[in-house]
Amino acid sequence: MLLLLLGIIVLHVTVLVLLFVSTIVSQWLVNGEHAADLWQNCTSGASFHCLASSSNEWLQAVQAMMILSVIFSVLSLFLFFCQLFTLTKGGRFYITGVFQILAGLCVMSGAAIFTVRHTDWHQASENTSYGFAYILAWLAFPLALASGIIYVILRKRE
């Protein structure tokens, strides 16, 4: 049983780390030397300098969704430890699972909005490709969903 507990916590922490990295790191769109991100656009040519991103409403919505997903995941971890000690035997970790599922939905909607609307604030040229932070965001979505569902199905033992 301890192994199960450890596995669940490792999965949750992995989701949390993925969410943090994809929110903070500046690699959502890569174009040669340019890297566009949620928060700033960086150029690493002869000199390395960064400018703040545009204040487009859709970009702000993506930022809001990513921040919300991080908040929900952190809350979910905190509530998991609370429920671990206060739940009755046989009870389910409903609220932990609900918050983790919410985090997954938020990161999915954020990444989806970004995919559809990124041309609003960033002119797409030929060799613009998605950076690794964008891929991590899409990876975090199924993991968060799976983690949340495991919490909802799991029953507290011993």
Partner 1 sequence: MSPRATRRLLLAAGLLAALGVSPVSPIHVYTPREVYGTVGSRVTLSCSFWSSEWISEDISITWHFQAEGSRDSISIFHYAKGQPYIDDVGTFKERMEWAGNPRRRDGSIVIHSLEPSDNGTFTCDVKNPPDIVGKSSQVTLYVLEKVPTRYGVVLGSVIGGVLLLVAVLVALVYVTRYCWRRRQAVLQRRLR
Contact positions vs partner 1 (CB under 8 A): 55, 57, 60-61, 63-65, 67-68, 71-72, 95, 102, 106
Distance between CA atoms of residues 61 and 120, nearest Å: 13
Concatenated DSSP letters for 68-99?
Answer: HHHHHHHHHHHHHHHHHHHSPTT-B-HHHHHH
Q: Is the Cβ of residue 60 or residue 115 nearer to partner 1 in the bound state?
A: 60
Q: Nearest distance from residue 132's CB to partner 1, in Å? A: 24
Q: Is the Cβ of residue 62 or residue 143 nearer to partner 1 in the bound state?
A: 62
Distance between CA atoms of residues 44 and 97, nearest Å: 42
Distance between CA atoms of residues 34 and 156, nearest Å: 49
Q: Nearest distance from residue 2's CB to partner 1, in Å? A: 30
Q: Nearest distance from residue 93's CB to partner 1, in Å? A: 14
